[in-house]
Structure 1
């Protein structure tokens, strides 16, 4: 299971014309060996992944916020040569991270009848289900997701915020607030790297939106033929990802190949998005 918080410049929450498709978790429950054709990927479309890498840069946010020049240089190299990096000493309490993982995991363990109350509607993006289904015969990712808009609060559709388990809403609020703080700190340090005032990059956003996506990948009888999330770039300014520490599932593009990112306990993974790439050209 993975959790993403994306911060991006936007005037409205993007929507997709979703078709009604079966939830993967429910498909597996009914028939563990069944894999529909539209989930099976061609071998040529699958990333050729290298062994787990310990070379992905690790950035100490407390040093960055202390204006440590060496750490700022490390951030510069991480952005230029990787586009991804781990963040440690970010100030988000371990209890908050674990509570978010535990409560969202409890949500996905609920009976399907309980979860489908929050199903993503046609032409919508928020809610529970398989996101971004826009074509009748498109290849689908082997996973379900819970997607919610967080900030600004006027974008929230609270009817898709699960009320079970009871502590989930508070966990989302607390975690998202902390991740928002981390994102603003990173944007400030990226501004300094660009030779601007610390608040300049944040001010360049007409409106900063933040959304939460929790990905759940059920067991598959044909794991070498499906993808949890297809290869993509993020349109946001930055994406902050919390990995499941027990599974190395994240792979990133680097030097023409794919690198498996080994989780670091209590760290966050940051992905520089398309908006930052545009700002720096």
Structure 2
């Protein structure tokens, strides 16, 4: 674990995002109202994505149960997150996302005033390497939240490294090769809070997308279904399994495997009777890592490379032009 924290001006920033009101607060003031910017009027438009999965696009089994993360560590993360989102808005706004980054509390990836909004509030933190943490936007409330994040994230780091070793073997390379390729494994946490909605069929909790990560590990609430994955022409709900983790393949693995292992497209839906939280942890390479199809994968498929070599920091969509 890193012991040195850099000054904020030396810590990398990520995508800028415009600020919008808290959905929790909107619903408190007007439980039945859904502002115009959240209404999805044309489902066909939502399907015009650069990243379209032709396969299931998930890690074998999708749901991992024998992961070794203690039940009390998982529950501690859930309990502390609930307490955070129950704080007064003024307390949460003390760690609002700055205009040049997506770390902190608020809404991520908002680049236009005309953009249709997702029906969710989020907390995003870069956890590892710890020297990249922006401690000024780490939550000081509720008591014990930081410790819960530390305990949960440390365990997921171990799980991710084990999974990357398994994926290395699946792709015909040495067990430690994928981890070494990353140069340094970056780990980001995103906690999503989906406030109940009076018109759940008119909004999206998270718009359809695929992750630019290598892999994503998701913990769900045990009693509320909201995650859906794209399969062929339909959507399939991923039912919660108590104390289980959902593991999704990201864009990096799709590129390295020359398209054999598909990056999953997913979305999150809301409901009108119960609030839901989800806890997504993204594992990704350093921005200067060059990614291209592995020679072993090209050879085993007997085909040409589907993707061009690209630096991870320049990779915005998995389906690059064919070479």
TM-score with structure 2 setting the length: 0.71
Task: Find the partner of 1:231 among 192, 197, 208.
Answer: 208
Correspondence for 1:245? 222
Structure 1 spans left out of the alignment, 5+ residues: 1-11, 49-79
| Stretch of structure 1 that moved more, 182-191 or 82-91 | 82-91
- The count of residues paired between Structure 1 and Structure 2 equals 239
8 Å Cα contact 1:100-1:172 kept in structure 2: yes
8 Å Cα contact 2:46-2:207 kept in structure 1: no
Correspondence for 1:36? 35
Q: CA deviation at 1:121?
A: 1.3
Distance 1:179 1:46, change over 3 A: farther
More helix by share: 1
Superposition CA RMSD, Å: 1.6
| Stretch of structure 1 that moved more, 174-183 or 83-92 | 83-92
Correspondence for 1:105? 82
TM-score with structure 1 setting the length: 0.81
Distance 1:188 1:168, change over 3 A: same
Counterpart secondary structure, 1:270: strand
Q: CA deviation at 1:205?
A: 1.1
Q: In 1, distance between residues paired with 2:227 and 2:46?
A: 12
Task: Find the partner of 1:83 among 44, 53, 58.
Answer: 58
Q: In 2, distance between residues paired with 1:245 and 1:39?
A: 26
Task: Find the partner of 1:221 among 198, 211, 223.
Answer: 198
| Stretch of structure 1 that moved more, 252-261 or 170-179 | 252-261
Q: CA deviation at 1:81?
A: 4.6
8 Å Cα contact 1:16-1:133 kept in structure 2: no
Correspondence for 2:233? 256
Correspondence for 1:162? 139
Residues 13-68 of structure 1, C-alpha deviations (whole Å, 9 max, x = no match): 552332221111111111112211111012424889xxxxxxxxxxxxxxxxxxxx
Residues 151-204 of structure 1, C-alpha deviations (whole Å, 9 max, x = no match): 111211011111111110000001000000000000000011111111011111
8 Å Cα contact 2:56-2:230 kept in structure 1: no
Q: Which runs of 4+ in 1 moved over 3 A?
A: 45-48
8 Å Cα contact 2:126-2:187 kept in structure 1: yes
Correspondence for 2:20? 21
Counterpart secondary structure, 1:166: coil
Q: In 1, distance between residues paired with 2:44 and 2:200?
A: 14
Structure 2 spans left out of the alignment, 5+ residues: 1-10, 48-54, 259-323
| Stretch of structure 1 that moved more, 242-251 or 35-44 | 35-44
Q: In 2, distance between residues paired with 1:46 and 1:102?
A: 37
Correspondence for 1:270? 247
Distance 1:194 1:21, change over 3 A: same
Q: CA deviation at 1:228?
A: 0.2
Correspondence for 1:207? 184
Counterpart secondary structure, 1:252: strand
Distance 1:81 1:30, change over 3 A: closer
Q: In 2, distance between residues paired with 1:124 and 1:110?
A: 23
Relative contact order, higher structure (CA 8 A, sep 6+) = 1
Distance 1:252 1:13, change over 3 A: farther
Residues 68-108 of structure 1, C-alpha deviations (whole Å, 9 max, x = no match): xxxxxxxxxxxx75424001110000000000000000000
